[in-house]
Amino acid sequence: FLPIFLWESKKSPKVILADISKGSLQKSIDNVNLQNFSQDILSQSFDFRLGNGIQVLENGEVDVVVMAGMGGILMTEILSADLIKTKSIKSFILQPRNGQGKLRWWLLQNGFQIKEEKLVREGKFICEVIHAEPVAWDCGLIKLSMDEDWEQKKQSEDIEYEIPESILISNGALAVEFAERKLKIEFDILENIKKAVFLDEEKREQTESRILYLKNLISKYGERGEQ
């Protein structure tokens, strides 16, 4: 539906709809066909491609890539598969369902700038949307997967990547609610740590540090977010 909207609103004169799943790609084809566009419009403006991530694209073929409905780690794997191709694209709109902190860490370690972040309510969920652009060509590729080394894992799980201050600056009351939800999760984790038979001091200290960070953010932006 997003590519259809982008074309109809004249934001994108041509859109490429891609998916690794044949069934999901067929849904895109069906949705476009339901719009009753002319054959000229269909042939010139809508391109359907079956494949994995941006592998279906040529270098520099598109200005903007949107990735949504998948995890942050999977996004890093797609982006790192061919970094030259990835950096030939001007802009990325990323909406990770999980692993948001790991995605931000990877972007900043691999020569990308996070230009803007938005929070959007979807039912009971608050979704994160990240606008990122490549800014450097000569950095070494750092991959992030389920098998990343311990030091990278610790860095990528830093609370400042999960909830950067920039989110609170630009998203008002919704961001405060978002941070408060995260804070409740951390308090629950801390309670479970304290109830454990063997107290994990390192985990307790880490969780208390995360709680302090979130409380400071909420205190700093709470009043501003209510305006």
Superfamily of structural domain 2-158: Vaccinia Virus protein VP39 (3.40.50.150)
Q: Phi, psi (5° rounding) for residue 57?
A: -100, 155
| Per-residue pLDDT reduced to its tens digit, 86-122 | 999 999 999 999 999 999 999 999 999 999 999 999 9
Q: What is the pTM of this model?
A: 0.87
| Per-residue pLDDT reduced to its tens digit, 14-41 | 999 999 999 999 999 999 999 999 999 9
